Amino acid sequence: MKAHPWMGNSGGTAKAEMLAALRVNSVEALFAQIPEDHRMTRPLDLPPQLSSEVALSRHLDDMMAKNKVPAAGACFLGAGAWPHYVPAICDEIVGRYEWQTSVFGSPTSDHGRNQAWFEFTSQIGALVDMDFVGLPVYSWGCAVGHAVRMAARMTGRRKVVVPEVMDPERRLVLQTYCEPTEMARHIEIVTVKVGADGCIDRDDLRTKIDGAGALYFETPGYLGVIDADPGELCAIAREAGAEAIVGVDPLSLGLLEAPGAYGATIAVGPTQPLGVHMYAGGGVGGFIASPDEERYAREYNTLNISISETREPGEHGFGLTLFHQSSYGMRDEGKDWTGNSVYLWALANAAYMAAMGPEGFAEVGRLIMARSGAAARAIDALDGARVDLSRPVFKEFVATFDKPVAQINAALRAKGLFGGKDITGEPGIEGNAMLICVTEVHTQDDIDHLVTTLKEALA
């Protein structure tokens, strides 16, 4: 057998020795549990194998050169990963070897790591006004899925109500977590109407919440709408015996009321805005928070950090807790799957939140709201463009145009700008629509550049 160029043990008798150790006669026997109709019967359509590491390096360089990296302030694309300023201290912290080599150890070791993770959970808890926070999961969408499964286990109900206008990616992740209808743990997803004001229709919610284990909604929502009374939605859910799960942008909480304060029972959200750059396919994460009650704590899928006094007077120690209920402790019988993929980002998040403090969150919140509002008004003033200015704007807003968004975005890219997400045809959207993101990194000059280029594209 010819050895693989980068796998030294792939040649000679290695394959036969591994099969013998597993007591099977062929590689095929290892996949016997996969149903026939799930298996590919045609050969994989792969390009020719590269012959050396030099060729691989050149290939990757060529692929990377195709990426277009916008200048600071030239990207107005959000919808899941947003252009925010990352303080230098965040990169410095996560770049230290001490962290990169101690991301995982035994449940009671690595006290420095455990303390840093405890700081992360404590600061998220302060932001959302809840006392129990797990370590982060892969993404905001994953946090929604885990929270819904938590609610289903707690209530014994297999139904969740969500708004009909929801981020398509988070909706798909939630669908995956709710499993297909033929699965024993399937959770039904029911949508509730969204009114002309962009908020959930209360009357429609009251007709659909009965028998649900949870209501999930976001404020600000996917299209940037801020619900004026999220507490009313939470109250409707709680009165029906359902968990009130609220998704929030943590940077909005310097201005908006925390979900724990208006009656949410579980809060989720993204961690990328908290000191993590926009990476293609990486950098995202999601948090889950709840009251510090045993019925919630027992249903977390995540690893959790606790603090306690040591035998030395005045000293404290930090350690993983409720470890056994995770997939590490009970494997496939754990409370959903958990992993260690975004724990390093939690350190960047903790450094960011510590550097900002309450006043910093309020300041950046005001800045984002002021600049996104200014951009919305300027775009609405253009011929061929419209923005609903009847409601407040935080970070993202919808602009509709007389021309197709793909055509407009192509014109923006030609001038070095990344336009917003093309949401034409999505639920709740009429006409050619773009979801535009404006944050604290965008100066007035950046906004003027966007508006001027949009005007040229619309002419």
- What is the percent of the chain with per-residue pLDDT over 70, rounded to a whole number? 95
Q: Give the pLDDT mean for 206-222.
A: 97
Is the per-residue pLDDT at 107 higher than 80? no
| Centroid of chain to Cα 142 | 7
What is the β-pairing status of strands 132-133 and 286-290? Answer: antiparallel
| Centroid of chain to Cα 182 | 27
List, in sequence order, every beta strand (DSSP E) within 262-360: 266-270, 286-290, 304-309, 316-321
Average pLDDT, the chain: 92
Q: Which residue has the higher pLDDT, 202 or 50?
A: 202
Mean pLDDT is highest, among 2-6, 27-31, 110-114, for: 27-31
DSSP 8-class letter at 440: T
Identity of residue 251: L
> Is residue 233 a contact partner of residue 215, using CB atoms and an 8 Å limit?
yes
Q: Return the SS3 of 117.
A: helix
Q: Where are the alpha helices (DSSP H) in 285-401?
A: 294-297, 327-330, 343-380
Residues 6+ apart with CB under 8 A from 101: none
Q: Which of 245, 271, 246, 253 is nearest to 137 (CA)?
A: 271
Residue with tokens 């000059």: 445
- The whole-angstrom separation of Cα 244 and Cα 237 is 6
- Look up residue 48 and give its two tokens: 């020719």
- The whole-angstrom separation of Cα 83 and Cα 73 is 8
> Is residue 19 a contact partner of residue 26, using CB atoms and an 8 Å limit?
yes
Hey, what domains does the chain have and what are their CATH numbers? Answer: 72-82+357-458 (3.90.1150.10), 90-353 (3.40.640.10)
Residue with tokens 């982060």: 136
Q: How does residue 337 score in pLDDT terms, banded at 50, 70 and 90?
A: confident
Residues 6+ apart with CB under 8 A from 447: 371, 374, 375, 378, 438
- Look up residue 239 and give its two tokens: 């009165």
- Give me the pLDDT at residue 433, please: 97
Within 13 Å of residue 39, how many CA atoms lie on the same side as its CB? Answer: 8
- The whole-angstrom separation of Cα 69 and Cα 88 is 20
Residue with tokens 């908006």: 256
Cis peptide before 427 (omega within 30 of 0): no
- What is the percent of the chain with per-residue pLDDT over 90, rounded to a whole number? 72
- Give me the pLDDT at residue 112, please: 82
Q: How does residue 399 score in pLDDT terms, banded at 50, 70 and 90?
A: very high
pTM of the model: 0.88
Q: How are the residues of the chain apportioned to helix, strand and coil, as percentages rounded to the nearest 5?
A: 40, 15, 45
Is the per-residue pLDDT at 108 higher than 60? no
Q: Which of 365, 443, 413, 378 is nearest to 73 (CA)?
A: 443
What is the per-residue burial (b if ≥16 Cβ within 10 Å, else e) of 224-242? bbbbeebbbbbebbbebeb
End-to-end CA distance of the chain: 65
Q: How does residue 123 score in pLDDT terms, banded at 50, 70 and 90?
A: very high
Identity of residue 193: K
Q: Return the SS3 of 307.
A: strand
pLDDT tens string 143-155: 999 999 999 999 9
> Is residue 188 a contact partner of residue 158, using CB atoms and an 8 Å limit?
yes
Other residues' Cβ atoms within 10 Å of the Cβ of residue 349: 27
- The whole-angstrom separation of Cα 286 and Cα 194 is 25
- The whole-angstrom separation of Cα 187 and Cα 211 is 12
